[in-house]
Amino acid sequence: MIKFNLLLLILFSLLTSNISTGQNLSTDKKYIFKRGDINGIGKWYMGREIAYVMGFQGINWLERSDREKEENVSKLIQNMSINPDDTIADIGAGSGYHAFRMAPLVKNGMVYAVDIQVEMLSEIEKTKKIIKTKNIETILGTEKSIHLPKNSVDKILMVDVYHEFSFPIEMMASIKKALKPDGELFLIEYKGEDLKVPIKKIHKMTENRL
């Protein structure tokens, strides 16, 4: 089985002031619109085309049995150094694959599963009832906001989702706002430099475009 090569960025109190919530920059000047990949939305940011969001029809792929072997999810969660009192936001939570693995580690805390697709959140709610999980709360986000209060979370996890943000500037500003001053962001993407990864090019990220 091929182990996917993932690009991991761990940012502490990250997101420099140029994307703060009080920014005055014109986002229109930051985004370029032109034709590109058939799997892209025709909108470019920092030299890369933004990909279409993977639909809820891909839930089976998110829950595939080989995912642990391919992505070493256990190591990722271990490296997050999760504390029992942490409040964690899983952005682009999908079916809740990561959220349900983090929830037992925050016995006194909370995991916010944020997604823009109602169908994904409904799937999480179904699983919550089946396994009786009480410390996962689903949040319906938008293309521009994760809809979490200011300084409300200790850690934010984004797995294979940043490249699909249709408004990355606005979304990262929303994420910065939600993080506590000493909060951490864990950003995971399939590494574009690794040609062996069997993922469409537009769904990968290179280090110089993050």
Confidence class for position 205, pLDDT limits 50, 70, 90: confident
Q: Let me know how many helices (H) and strands (E) the chain has, helices first.
A: 7, 9
Confidence class for position 206, pLDDT limits 50, 70, 90: confident
Biggest alpha carbon–alpha carbon distance for the chain = 48
Does residue 20 lie within any of the structural domains?
yes
With CA atoms as reference, report the closest residue to 6 among 102, 50, 70, 64.
Answer: 70
At 84-134, the pLDDT tens digits run 999 999 999 999 999 999 999 999 999 999 999 999 999 999 999 999 999
Does residue 93 lie within any of the structural domains?
yes
Number of domains making up the chain: 1
At 3-13, the pLDDT tens digits run 445 555 544 33
pLDDT at 148 over 50: yes
Does residue 1 lie within any of the structural domains?
no
CATH code, 97: 3.40.50.150
In this structure, the number of other CB atoms found within 10 A of the CB of residue 194 comes to: 14
pTM of the model: 0.86
